[in-house]
Chains A and B, each alone.
Chain A
């Protein structure tokens, strides 16, 4: 297929490119002064707690060299925990401690880390090697999420997470991210995790994407990724919808996890969410955003300036129900 026809066909399907995302959505809907809110995970967490949104409980914050020395006392009561740079991007610099062994910390991949190694990691975080602008950062120590066994058939190690893109409070696309052997248990598509599309109306998984390709099976477990009902789907999607009121950011990627004990938890927010979610759902993001923008315009004309989260959710679940569409298509095809 020639590049030009690829272009035309992508355009026709409403696939969003980086340039379009940056100028038409990020720049337009996300005021710069609100960025620190999502760029700093600690601030996001505090805001979420205030708003009554469930997040993984905070164990402690380390923001000075002196506190690094007190790290052992800080986590004394926890066998497992997660260390994150507050301003890290794309899952970089995250250490997940699953257990302890003879004064060592054991990571999820089985590596043993001494206290010194952890302290070095912490000082690296503080000096800003993982932060976006390279400036000083804080380290965040929080509860380690225990994945719900519902994903074990289609997941390899690590914690799968759910990403929902929300435009002006309207959820437009959802994706389940599953760690693979290649991604070292991290749910990051860049690092080799797979993304699986999710039907907004029902929470049932669709086909997936891995390294920009469309896939039907998990590369490690070889189980098909399609047709899995995500539990608590209504909880996830309404949580994502409410994040618009939480931050005021009009174009937002909400990352959530399902904890075995605590249910849906909001992990972090992203003001520049990635675009591979489109391949996972096989749907153009710009096309869906346009539907939402039209609806907002219609409501504005009707004099409704703020639709309630429930109204927005209902609109999206009605408009973007992929499965029923294809079911009806299938039945239409079989009928003819």
Chain B
């Protein structure tokens, strides 16, 4: 006996641990949301390129695309254009799309859409490529002198690469500095400052490159923001060439690197580029679902969702039955509630799913009462068990049809769902109620009926509580934990709640 108890404890513990581990794996390793209510933002970035082609000239457009190692996970990427071929390629650290068409006429529009989740993509961002080495430019004459003059104070004021670059940015942006002015050559644009900075730093053997970034914010029109970056041997350091601020803010994505503009065209005039980004709120579980499809996540992480939709709906129902069963187990063995049949309340509770609790209880009561009346009349006819049961069953079906028709004509839509009531269960309930009435009296059978209704209502409420339905459907490992509880309850030997009242006379 003791060995068996230990056995059960070990099995229950194993089941609980295994179930909990599978749930934990799904939540923490696979990032599956614990509630269907959880939403998260998704960024939709649209690039619209419009232009008019030159007569009889093939169109070739080269567009930089955000790299695949972005800090955010790409959900979807689409290229939309009529009669254009698109090729995606990599050039150095950049990803490039080549749009091409042999013959076009009229205004042309090309669309590129990118959808990003804000989920961090730690695994992929570590794949960010290192620098491509370039030769330092050969400077001569005045420029060489100006560069040397600038580098001297920078060297004095800096301690390492980071401070060196920040100091350099500060000097380039200082419009009163003659040396800087000379290098910029009266061109104070952002582009020119960046180019000078690049030249200056490479003379000091610190290679930097331009990065073009996009801010993820709800804006209809934005232009890529220019940043500079330098590789310190382990990772990229980002600098804002205007302010000297270091570190790319969280809401930026790198779009492309290098000195080229985002779009390079051939055979085109009136080029216009419009970039807009907007935030969309999506349901986390839907997001996870589409991610797992597109990224080929482990098939077990969302096992139930891989079923056909119809089957999923069925299992939404079926997987909740153990919850109802566990409730009945608790009600009967711990509370001591008396019900008709063992799992009858669960089945009636399932029927409540369609009718709702109030109508369900009403239907159950009405049909049971009518059935009991018929049953007590049939008693006088001295029928055999099977033909009596069949008669009551047919009567129950007729009553259900009648209630449906009457309800429909009165405009009560709830009455239609009565057809889902389990009629065989109802018939057996009527028979059992009737026998209980005869043998143990009306009070006892009322108690049984009421107990059944209470259990059915509770079972229904628990089985249809949508956060639980979601949780169990998404994390089926929960069922193992439920099983562990059931097993453990199998050796519960304490009093039932109702027994405390039953044996009250003995307690003193």
Is A127 touching B384 in the complex (CB atoms < 8 A)?
yes
Q: Does residue B205 face the partner (Cβ distance < 8 Å to A)?
A: no
Q: Does residue A213 face the partner (Cβ distance < 8 Å to B)?
A: yes
In the complex the two chains form, what is the Cα distance from A293 to B440 in whole Å? 36
With A9-B508, A13-B506, A279-B505: A3-B497 Cβ-Cβ less than 8 Å: yes
- List chain A residues, Cβ under 8 A from B382: 116-117, 120
Is A28 touching B1 in the complex (CB atoms < 8 A)?
yes
Q: Does residue A302 face the partner (Cβ distance < 8 Å to B)?
A: no
Q: Does residue B333 face the partner (Cβ distance < 8 Å to A)?
A: yes
A1-23 Cβ-contact flags toward B at 8 Å (1 or 0) = 10101110111010101111001
Is B507 touching A127 in the complex (CB atoms < 8 A)?
no
Q: Is chain A's interface secondary structure helix, strand, loop, or mixed overall?
A: helix
Q: How far is the CB of A310 from chain B (nearest CB, A)?
A: 29
Q: Does residue A282 face the partner (Cβ distance < 8 Å to B)?
A: yes
Q: Does residue A155 face the partner (Cβ distance < 8 Å to B)?
A: no
**Chain A residue nearest to B438 in the complex (CB):** A92
Q: Does residue A204 face the partner (Cβ distance < 8 Å to B)?
A: no
Is B385 touching A191 in the complex (CB atoms < 8 A)?
no
Q: How far is the CB of B310 from chain A (nearest CB, A)?
A: 36
Q: How far is the CB of A95 from chain B (nearest CB, A)?
A: 13
Question: A20 contacts which of B493, B501, B504, B508 (Cβ < 8 Å)?
Answer: B493
Q: How far is the CB of A334 from chain B (nearest CB, A)?
A: 23
Q: Does residue A209 face the partner (Cβ distance < 8 Å to B)?
A: yes
Q: Does residue B439 face the partner (Cβ distance < 8 Å to A)?
A: yes
Is A19 touching B493 in the complex (CB atoms < 8 A)?
yes
In the complex the two chains form, what is the Cα distance from A123 to B497 in whole Å? 40
In the complex the two chains form, what is the Cα distance from A242 to B23 in whole Å? 56
In the complex the two chains form, what is the Cα distance from A190 to B438 in whole Å? 13
Is A213 touching B505 in the complex (CB atoms < 8 A)?
yes
**Chain B residue nearest to A90 in the complex (CB):** B439
Is B493 touching A7 in the complex (CB atoms < 8 A)?
no
Interface size band for A: 35 or more
- List chain B residues, Cβ under 8 A from A181: none
- List chain A residues, Cβ under 8 A from B505: 209, 212-214, 279
Q: Does residue A278 face the partner (Cβ distance < 8 Å to B)?
A: yes
- List chain B residues, Cβ under 8 A from A212: 501-505
Q: Does residue B386 face the partner (Cβ distance < 8 Å to A)?
A: yes
Q: Which of B460-508 contact A (CB under 8 A)?
A: 490-497, 499-508
In the complex the two chains form, what is the Cα distance from A113 to B336 in whole Å? 39
Is B495 touching A129 in the complex (CB atoms < 8 A)?
no
Question: A124 contacts which of B336, B385, B493 (Cβ < 8 Å)?
Answer: B385
In the complex the two chains form, what is the Cα distance from A127 to B388 in whole Å? 11
**Chain B residue nearest to A65 in the complex (CB):** B384
- List chain A residues, Cβ under 8 A from B441: 191
A203-216 Cβ-contact flags toward B at 8 Å (1 or 0) = 00000010011100
Q: Does residue B10 face the partner (Cβ distance < 8 Å to A)?
A: no
Q: Does residue A264 face the partner (Cβ distance < 8 Å to B)?
A: no
Q: Does residue A24 face the partner (Cβ distance < 8 Å to B)?
A: yes
With A28-B1, A129-B435: A19-B496 Cβ-Cβ less than 8 Å: yes
In the complex the two chains form, what is the Cα distance from A315 to B401 in whole Å? 67
Q: How far is the CB of A132 from chain B (nearest CB, A)?
A: 12
Q: How far is the CB of A274 from chain B (nearest CB, A)?
A: 11
Is B500 touching A278 in the complex (CB atoms < 8 A)?
no
Is B494 touching A17 in the complex (CB atoms < 8 A)?
yes
Question: B504 contacts which of A6, A124, A128, A284 (Cβ < 8 Å)?
Answer: A6
Question: A15 contacts which of B386, B491, B503 (Cβ < 8 Å)?
Answer: B503
Is B506 touching A18 in the complex (CB atoms < 8 A)?
no
Q: How far is the CB of B3 from chain A (nearest CB, A)?
A: 13
Q: How far is the CB of B252 from chain A (nearest CB, A)?
A: 62
- List chain A residues, Cβ under 8 A from B385: 124, 127-129
In the complex the two chains form, what is the Cα distance from A105 to B435 in whole Å? 23
- List chain B residues, Cβ under 8 A from A278: 503, 506
**Chain A residue nearest to B382 in the complex (CB):** A120
With A23-B491, A212-B502: A18-B497 Cβ-Cβ less than 8 Å: no
Is B493 touching A17 in the complex (CB atoms < 8 A)?
yes
Is B440 touching A18 in the complex (CB atoms < 8 A)?
no
Question: A9 contacts which of B336, B490, B496, B507 (Cβ < 8 Å)?
Answer: B507
In the complex the two chains form, what is the Cα distance from A19 to B496 in whole Å? 7
Q: How far is the CB of A3 from chain B (nearest CB, A)?
A: 5
- List chain A residues, Cβ under 8 A from B336: 18
- List chain B residues, Cβ under 8 A from A129: 385, 435
Is B507 touching A17 in the complex (CB atoms < 8 A)?
no
A-B pairs with the 8 shortest C-beta distances?
A127-B385, A120-B382, A9-B507, A17-B495, A20-B493, A6-B507, A214-B505, A6-B500
Q: Chain B interface (Cβ within 8 Å of chain A)?
A: 1, 333, 336, 382, 384-386, 435, 439-441, 490-497, 499-508
Instruction: Give 6 pairs: A residue, B residue, CB < 8 Å, sorted on A.
Output: A1-B507, A6-B507, A10-B499, A13-B507, A19-B496, A212-B504
